[in-house]
Amino acid sequence: MTTIKSLEDLKKLREQALQKRDVKRAEGAAQVIVGMGTCGIAAGARETMKAVLETIEQEGLSGILVTQTGCIGLCEKEPIMQVVVGDGPKVVYGKVSADVARQIMKEHVIGGKVVENHVIPM
């Protein structure tokens, strides 16, 4: 088992993350919520979540809060993803495939521009 060694690695990563912290605060945090009810999972929400996490990793996005919610009664629009950037409005997206999730991450979360054609009017 390599557990002990990898926990040492993790400690280093923690130090690095602590150093980056102040930078991230200046950028303004973003919140991403993925619907993970049975309907969401069946519609592909795990791949949506995976695409969100991959983008965070690849683009080195710090300070993004990723969480999940259950069924919100819009099963036919799943996978559903909600995005809030800084003090901006809450935007709910529907039919968020992995590709759409990557697009939202790049254009909305990083770029600050809402991806209009996937917004669900609430």
With respect to another protein, which residue has the nearer C-beta, 38 or 111?
A: 38
* Residue type at 111 in one-letter notation: G
Q: How far is the CB of 117 from another protein (least distance, A)?
A: 26
Q: Are 107 and 96 in contact (CB under 8 A)?
A: no
Q: Are 70 and 88 in contact (CB under 8 A)?
A: no
With respect to another protein, which residue has the nearer C-beta, 49 or 121?
A: 49
Place of tokens 């995005």: 83
With respect to another protein, which residue has the nearer C-beta, 5 or 117?
A: 5
The β-bridge relationship of strands 64-69 and 91-93 is: unpaired
Q: Is 70 in the site for another protein (CB under 8 A)?
A: yes
Q: Is 16 in the site for another protein (CB under 8 A)?
A: yes
Question: Rounded to the nearest 10 degrees, how much is the dihedral formed by the CA atoms of 93, 94, 99, 103?
Answer: -20
Tokens of 110: 């990083």
Please, which of residues 85-114 interact with another protein by CB under 8 A? none
Which stretches of the chain bind another protein, using CB under 8 A? 3, 6-7, 9-11, 13-14, 16-18, 20, 34, 36-38, 41-42, 46-47, 49-50, 53, 56-57, 59-62, 64-68, 70-71
